[in-house]
A and B are shown apart, each in its own frame.
Chain A
């Protein structure tokens, strides 16, 4: 079975079409042949009546036929029309001049029928249609049986049938081709909603749209409605997970904040440091897992997010926070640079990286994008003119919980979290390099 609906329908319809046209053709051809034979038979009957009219019985009771018959073909040798008259016992009484030299096997009597139409053969193998017509002729009060035999070449009829057949099949083939073409067009038209649905689902996968359209033919609507329902419930579930995780994080954070400040209180005693350490660890665990759970991943809607806008928004926000510092943010990103994914996730990455750059940079931060030629992905580069990270420390800062400097506030998750999000959510890469500005260059590669 072919695995294409179009091919199945085409095949099925082609089989039906061929069968239908074939049978119809056979029926029509048969009807035509019968019609032709009927015409031959009637013509032969006319000849019989003409012969009957021409035949005479003389005084001695002999059959006499005129020299010139009303039908000239009977007088012309080998004309295709032949006749003979025999008596009841089969003794030849007369034969037409046309049949001289031809040994025609006229049909024999079957039963007591007076008339019989049948195929016959000439001595030379030619095929003939023959009519046998027996009459009782009263001669001098005595009944004599005369058998009139007329035959005609089957060639003419066969030629007519053949011509007809050619014409017929010619037309049928033409019609079949036309119908198959028409059917292909119809198929295209009828299957168009299916193709459109497939296209829309593909673009949902790519994140270009949120749901399948509603204007499908009603046979497809249960399917498209289910797809939409599935997408919506998936989205709701993801939101619920995020909410639940965020709530969990939220509900743990206030007690942790209180614990932490209690531990800092001078009256808390010597074990306070231990408590604070544990609080710190709990805090990191919460951050790590909550952020991880909150990452939407590819399963969510992957809208194209304009990177330039997002970088400018985060940059403006950070500039507001660090209003007392004069950091220049150079943002050289083309308008059409986009990353597909969840905007919250991308903002998480850009926010963390820009925040680091602001923390460490002295006066300049540069953000650029590049589109690697080989695939449709995007490389986002954030550089600063801060102290940078020594090459032998770069791998370590990407590990969870390692801070670049214990004295600069931060939860130690920044780069590790960003790397994990880039890898898990986008299947991308994060690279740390030295920037020509003097500080760190973080390169995030989002594959297409």
Chain B
């Protein structure tokens, strides 16, 4: 998941970024309204944390501009005042959730995960795909009730595919959403990662949960009932 943190307080920004990276997010950061607006419009982010009191251009303006530009990624607003007027205005401007400062960092992570899941159309934290079950809250994966141990990047990859199950996800898009800017992307690395993931999920190659569509990308098959 790629998250944009738009927060001008450097200490808080670092704190949130560190926590989110540890939780497997790809993180972009911005401490200024104009820059945040640009990042939200130009980067393929999945979710944003937006402080309402940004310098340059205030959070509400940025949010409205994103929504006007047709950007639909979920947005979690941070407000220091905690006034309901601010919260309601923010939510009416297109935010999906709010947090009042100061907050527990776990709360931020939990809210972000819920937002991403919800925006992908999953209402519960556990995504079921046939025999496979992905708990996005605990970040654990089981196949046929057998726990599968994944590395952080393997999990990110699977989670993204699962949230967009049934869709064809191109290699570029996959790379953009699991890595942040700072990491040099190499398509071969992604392929290696994918093959390792396939082996872990489906050791005997009987189910092939992740399809490869040559030249187009990958798709997590979502078995229909009775499949």
Contacts and interface: CB of A to CB of B under 8 A. Distances in A.
Contacts of B100: 411
Interface stretch (A87-95, A232-240, A256-264, A360-368): A256-264
B83 A321 contact: no
B12 A254 contact: yes
Interface stretch (B103-111, B139-147, B198-206): B103-111
A320 B9 contact: no
A351 B89 CA distance: 12
Interface string B13-24: 001000100000
A157 interface: no
Interface string B68-94: 000000000000111111011001100
Nearest to A262: B15
Interface string B114-151: 10001000011000000000000000000000000000
Contacts of A348: 83-85
Contact of B92 (A250, A264, A283, A317): A317
A320 B87 CA distance: 11
Contacts of A287: 82
Contacts of B107: 409
Interface string A310-353: 00011011001101100000000000000000011001101110
A254 B88 contact: no
A313 B92 contact: yes
A225 interface: no
Interface string A298-316: 0000000000000001101
A255 interface: yes
A279 interface: yes
Interface residues of B, number: 32
A206 interface: no
Contact of A253 (B83, B91, B101): B101
Contact of B118 (A264, A314, A324): A324
Interface string A277-310: 0010001000100110010000000000000000
B85 A250 contact: no
B85 A344 contact: yes
Q: How large is the interface on A (under 10, 10 to 19, 20 to 34, 35 or more residues)?
A: 35 or more
B11 A258 contact: yes
A246 interface: yes
B33 interface: no
Contact of A261 (B91, B105, B118): B105
B91 A320 contact: yes
A249 interface: yes
B87 to A, nearest CB: 7
Contacts of A343: 85
B96 interface: yes
Query: Which one of A257, A259, A262, A291 has the greatest number of beta carbons of chain B within 10 Å?
Result: A257
B143 to A, nearest CB: 25
A194 to B, nearest CB: 39
Contacts, number: 93
A433 to B, nearest CB: 23
B102 A256 contact: yes
Contacts of B98: 321
Contacts of B34: none
Given A257-B15, A324-B123, A347 B88 contact: yes
Contacts of B114: 324
B37 to A, nearest CB: 22
Interface of A: prevailing SS: helix
Given A264-B105, A323-B118, A249 B80 contact: yes
Interface in B1-59: 9, 11-12, 15, 19, 53
B102 A253 contact: yes
A324 B111 CA distance: 12
Contact of A317 (B12, B19, B80, B87): B87
A351 B87 contact: yes
A261 B96 CA distance: 24
B176 interface: no
Contact of A352 (B11, B84, B91): B84
Contacts of B9: 254, 258
B167 to A, nearest CB: 21
A317 B81 contact: no
B96 A249 contact: no
B6 to A, nearest CB: 14
Contacts of A344: 83-85
A46 B123 CA distance: 130
B97 interface: yes
A257 B101 contact: yes
B96 A320 contact: yes
Given A261-B15, A261-B19, A347 B84 contact: yes
B88 A351 contact: yes
Given A320-B91, A351-B87, A246 B12 contact: no
Contacts of A261: 15, 19, 104-105
A301 B53 CA distance: 26
Closest 4 pairs (CB-CB, A-B): A351-B84, A257-B102, A317-B91, A250-B80
Interface of A: 246, 249-250, 253-262, 264, 279, 283, 287, 290-291, 294, 313-314, 316-317, 320-321, 323-324, 343-344, 347-348, 350-352, 409, 411
7 contacts: A246-B81, A254-B102, A314-B88, A320-B91, A320-B97, A347-B88, A348-B84
Interface of B: 9, 11-12, 15, 19, 53, 80-85, 87-88, 91-92, 95-98, 100-107, 114, 118, 123-124
Given A294-B83, A314-B84, 15 more contacts: A254-B9, A258-B15, A261-B19, A264-B105, A283-B102, A290-B82, A291-B82, A316-B91, A317-B91, A320-B97, A321-B96, A324-B114, A324-B123, A343-B85, A344-B84
